[in-house]
Amino acid sequence: MNIVWQKEYNVNVIEIDDHYQRLVGSFNHLVRMVKRGVHAAEISSAVDNIQQQSQDCFNAEELYFNKLGFIAPTGYRKGQAVCLLKLNLFKQSYDEKQPLINLAHVEGIARALLGHVATSHKEFNHFMKEHGIRRFIKAHA
């Protein structure tokens, strides 16, 4: 499994797109670690990193959504919560039991995240087009 960032996931907000592309890279790194069978502490640390990156992505989105006046779709926050919950449950289970991790676990989490991204970014892209916003670089500008 290799997670591939799709062009349609981009929202032309540099910070958001960069956050998510790094997050996809971190998932791919975790997959490589699992395939190599690295030590449990390394996998746990990688999941910690993915949890923090996910939260950073969601926080950046919220900042831009608020700045631009975009009202996220009803399921947006639920999608975020599902992604974070899956990561937390996986991390808790892994740290407590240190089971043999398999790629199905990582794939399930990645699918939840990419499903959320595909949905929320599609809505945000539509909003950007409706309002004639081609590119937005800094929420603090």
What is the C-alpha to C-alpha distance for residues 123 and 140, in angstroms, rounded to an integer?
Answer: 22
Let me know: does 31 contact 103? Beta carbons within 8 Å: yes
Boundaries of every domain in the chain? 7-130
Give the pLDDT confidence of 3-49 residue by residue, as tens digits. 788 887 888 788 888 888 898 899 889 888 878 878 878 888 888 89
**Which amino acid would we find at residue 45?**
S
> End-to-end distance of the chain based on CA atoms, in angstroms?
39
| Class of 7-130 in CATH | mainly alpha
pLDDT digits (tens, 9 = 90+) for 55-87: 888 888 888 888 888 887 677 777 777 778 877
pTM of the prediction? 0.78
